[in-house]
Each structure stands twice: as C-alpha cells, then as structure tokens.
Structure 1
Amino acid sequence: MRILSIQSSVSFGHVGNSAAVFPLQRIGVEVMPIYTVMFSNHTGYGSWRGPMMSGDDVREIVAGIEERGGLADVDAVLSGYQGGDSIGDAILDAVARVKQASPDAIYACDPVLGNARSGCHVSPEVQNLIRDRVVPRADLITPNQFELGFLTGTTPDTLESTLASVDLVRAGGPSTVLVTSVERPERPEESIEMLAVTDEGAWLIETPRIPFKVNGSGDVTAALFTAHYRSTGSGAEALERTTASVFSLLERTFATGARELALVEAQDAYAHPDLRFSAQRVR
C-alpha cells in the first residue's frame, strides 16, 4: 500500500506527519510525506520556530513525485490540518493528479476544526474551505463529534442524532465517515466511543476514557483507519484495529506522564494490536 500524506511536520514531538508516518510504516505502508509546515514543535506550546510551506511549494513537490512516476499505484491521499486556501487548493490539486494516475485511490481528510471543549479554533477562511470545498471532495473523513456538528449545522449527541448527522455529511460527498470522541448521554460513565459508517453499515466501539489530552492522537487515528479500511474494505475491522492501536498508544503515553505521544515506544501496538474492544453493529 502507498499513501501520499500532506500534513504538518514538527521536529520535537508528534503531530501531523510526525505522528502519522511512523505508525503507517510500522504496518507496512509506503508513505510519501509532504510537509505543509516544518516547525520546531506544535503550536500548543504557545511559541515555535520554522517555516510554513506555500501552496506552490506543495504543488512543486507533487509535480516532482509525478515526474518520477510516483503517483501511480497510490491507494490514498491523506490530509490533516489545512492552514488556508493556498494549501487547501494544492491538496485538492494533488488529489486530482493522484486520481488521474491511480483511479482507485481515495482521498481521506481529517477535517481539523476544533473540539467540544474549546470550540472552533481555525479561521473563518479555513472553516469555509473545509466545509464547502474539501469535505465534498473527500471519500473518507474522520471528524470528531464537534466537527461533525459544525460540518452539518447540527448538534449530534445521542446515537440517533449522530447517525443522522453522518447521513447528512455522507449525502454531500464522503461515503465513509469515522466519528471520533463520541460522547453520548447514555454511554457508560468514564467511557468514550468512536463510530464508523460505510455503505455496508455502521459500527460503534467503546473504550475507557484515559483522563488526559495529548496532541497528535487524532492524526494517528486518521492514518491508521485510512490504511486499515483501504486494505480490508471492512469498517468494523478497521475500527477495531485502529481503536486497539490508539488506545494502547494513549495508555503508554499516560503511563510515562509525558506531554508528547510515546509514538516509538508503542510501536508494537500498530503492527500487533491487542484486539480487546469489539465493534458493535448499530445499523
């Protein structure tokens, strides 16, 4: 499997491609990373150093890969945080080029907009870009529950309303949706869920909530789910394998007390996940 991953990069810590690439490589995926920024660390620290790439920079790199024949046999294009129209347009151009060379390729987009606790934390330009232009072009998206509501203008909270919101976003483009950080009033206390919906059905999976927040876990989740779904075609299997790996990664990180993901230390959990959580079909 080969994935073109267009995301940010940091030298210290793990977000964007610095979170997604190694787990994908560990499960045997050939990754071609393109960096949208090259920062010292993620912006959650409040200060950082390093350059941002332009949309033209991204196009140049894609063109160089294309000249080598590298867009043939690509299985997926993966994107995460998009800083503005310039990068967004370049990513959509890359998707078009890849699909021309590899008609079976999919575009998997993590529509990074915000979360339930802090709200939307991207500019209006990026909000409009993601909602109106990017998501309709995607085949697979991985919003959290808050982002799903933002994309559809709804307030998903119960299972029924979350499924209804997924149906709305699927009607506008993406056929496969993974909803992360699902919090329903009826769920067991101190648990959290993920919901995967494909043309074949819908599956819900529950894990204990680990009481901390760490940057980059969503990037790992989007990457692994994309790879597993692309290789198996099964929403349930992709959901179970992704959940197992990410939960083990978060367990290991929490045990270290570190602020950054224990990405390397948890590497066996990607290739050999402990499948202790079962996906339940809900539709």
Structure 2
Amino acid sequence: MKNTDLHVISIQSQVSTGYVGNNIAGFAIQLHGLNHVMLPTVLLSSHTDKPVYYGEIVDVSLFRKLCKGIEEIGVGEQSKYVISGYIKGQEVIEATADFIGQLKQRSLLQFIYDPVFGDTRTEGLYIPREDAMYSIEMLLPLCDILTPNHFELEFITNTTISNEEQLKEAIGKHPILCNKTIVLTTAELSENVNHQVEVVLICNGKLTHYYAANVAIEVVGTGDLFTGILSSQLSIGKDIGEAIQKAMQLISSILQYVKDNQLTEMNAAAIMSSYSLLTD
C-alpha cells in the first residue's frame, strides 16, 4: 500500500475545542499523509483541565455501530496500526477490546495501547480505579506496543520503579509485560542525573534510553501527541527507535514554541511550526 492509502485507527477522547485525544493524535497522523480513522470514547466540550467542561461517555451501542461500520468497509485491512487512549466506562472498554480483537483476527495490524488513566501531574488516577483495572484486564493482553507514562507503568505493575534495575525487574516478573514492547514515555529514573526528558524502550529485556531537552512548561495532550506520531512513523516504515526519536524531537519543538509565545496549551500554529521536522 502507498502511504496515501494507509489509515491509522485511533480510539480515544474527542473534544469540541483544544488539542487532546483524537484532536491532537489525528492532526499528527494527517500531517504524515495518513488517513485518521477516529472512534470517540467520550465527547467533551474541552479537555478536563479547563475550569468548566461538559460532555459524556459515548453511548456503547453507538460506539459498537461505529466499530461495525468501520470493520465492514475494510478499514482494518488498510491499516497497519490501531491505537487507543483515554477510555472511560467499562462497557466502552469491553467494546474496544472486542473491536480490536476482531481487527487482529482479520488483518496483520498491530495495537498500540496508551493506558491514559493517570499521571504524577494529577497525583493519581483520573478515571475510576475499577475502569483502569478493567482496561488493563481487557486491553493489555491484546497490545503489541504499550506506551505508559511512569505513573501508569507503576500502576500496571503494582510496584515502585525508581531506577533501571527496578524497571527491568518489574517488566521481567510481569506475566504479560515480559512479552511486550514497552515505550515508557516519561521515565523518572534516578540515573537521569541531568533531569532531561527521558523515554525508555524496553524490548526482550533490553533497555534503550532516549533523551531530549526539558522545556520548562507543562501542557496537556503531549502523551496523545506522542502516540499519534509514534504510530504514524511506524506506519510509514520507520523502526521503533527512529519513531521515538522523531516523536521526541517534534514534541520538544512544539513545547518550545508554546513557551516562546507564552501560550497555555498547544494550538494549530504550534503544531504546524514543527511540520518541517517531518521531512528531515
């Protein structure tokens, strides 16, 4: 398939305004010349860091109809990757697992699971604990690549991870994770003495570290953006190391733009300012 024929299926939140979930992942996917197939899990007026927002979980019967329609027109066969992000509600989690399971039976696409249920910035979970546990139960076994932040990996492994040795041990002892490719997107390891942004690739027991300058600004949506770029880079034939480096490079550039222009969050101009990096 040519790149222009390729799709990336993205299952996550959608907002009326702002750049999180499908809004930011879809933008990244399309900038790679790929087709963004969006499945919303929640519909909100804005991201939840805003002082006021409205919306709700997508009705599960509607969600299943959208999945059915996508499947029946062969979108899975035109995709190399399906990604999932923020999902709230056990019925939608179960429907997502059913859909991805069916896709994987019918095609060779891979599943990138971004847990998106908590972080250290918010000091814990931002979905109900039972939803997070159900997400792990239903989606973790299906995934080929897992992209948790540090909090989420500790939650999944039910252990504290402070250094490389603990990271290796936590992955190696886990009955599912030991056989997965893991991209730890915001590693917080004691060995990182320069306090750079660190991403760690864990594959077959081997750790590979990637670093970027720490831009002193905090905005929502960067995890969703990372997974969108990663899936797109992999779809166009980059290996996972190259994909991680490109994602980090783009996000650093975007955050620098946000900081330089005294913005409080990402916007279209910030994202487009880094578009030239895709062609390097």
Aligned counterparts of 1:169 and 1:274: Cα–Cα separation in 2? 39
On the 8 A contact 1:141/1:174 being kept in 2, the answer is: no
Shift of 1:233: 5.9
Shift of 1:230: 4.3
On the 8 A contact 2:186/2:199 being kept in 1, the answer is: yes
Shift of 1:217: 0.5
Matched residue SS, 2:241:
helix
Using the size of structure 1 for normalisation, the TM-score is 0.88
Shift of 1:274: 8.9
Q: 1:25 aligns with which of 23, 27, 30?
A: 30
Aligned counterparts of 1:33 and 1:264: Cα–Cα separation in 2? 22
Shift of 1:122: 2.0
On the 8 A contact 1:12/1:40 being kept in 2, the answer is: yes
Q: What residue is the counterpart of 1:261 in the other structure?
A: 266
Q: What residue is the counterpart of 2:214 in the other structure?
A: 209
Which of 56-65 and 13-22 deviates more?
A: 56-65
Show structure 1 runs of 5+ residues with no match: 276-283
On the 8 A contact 1:40/1:49 being kept in 2, the answer is: yes
Q: What residue is the counterpart of 1:280 in the other structure?
A: none
- Is 1:120 equivalent to 2:125 in the alignment? yes
Equivalent AA in structure 2 for residue 18 of structure 1: N
Which of 233-242 and 72-81 deviates more?
A: 233-242
- Give me the CA root mean square deviation: 2.2
Q: 2:112 aligns with which of 86, 104, 108?
A: 108
Matched residue SS, 1:77:
strand
Using the size of structure 2 for normalisation, the TM-score is 0.89
Equivalent AA in structure 2 for residue 123 of structure 1: P
Q: 1:68 aligns with which of 65, 73, 77?
A: 73
- Is 1:39 equivalent to 2:53 in the alignment? no
Equivalent AA in structure 2 for residue 111 of structure 1: P
Cα deviations by residue, 1:16-37 (Å, 9 ceiling, x for unpaired): 0011001111012211111122
Aligned counterparts of 1:24 and 1:135: Cα–Cα separation in 2? 23
CA gap 1:229/1:35 in 2 versus in 1, 3 angstroms: same
Matched residue SS, 2:229:
helix
Aligned counterparts of 1:271 and 1:164: Cα–Cα separation in 2? 40
On the 8 A contact 1:23/1:267 being kept in 2, the answer is: no
Shift of 1:273: 4.3
Shift of 1:259: 2.0
Matched residue SS, 2:200:
strand
Aligned residues: percent identity? 26
Shift of 1:38: 2.2
Q: Tell me the matched-pair count.
A: 274
On the 8 A contact 1:39/1:51 being kept in 2, the answer is: yes
- Is 1:142 equivalent to 2:147 in the alignment? yes
Aligned counterparts of 1:41 and 1:124: Cα–Cα separation in 2? 23
On the 8 A contact 1:135/1:173 being kept in 2, the answer is: no
Q: 2:136 aligns with which of 131, 135, 140?
A: 131
Q: What residue is the counterpart of 2:227 in the other structure?
A: 222
Q: What residue is the counterpart of 2:3 in the other structure?
A: none
Cα deviations by residue, 1:117-173 (Å, 9 ceiling, x for unpaired): 412232122121122222122111110111111101111111222233333457447
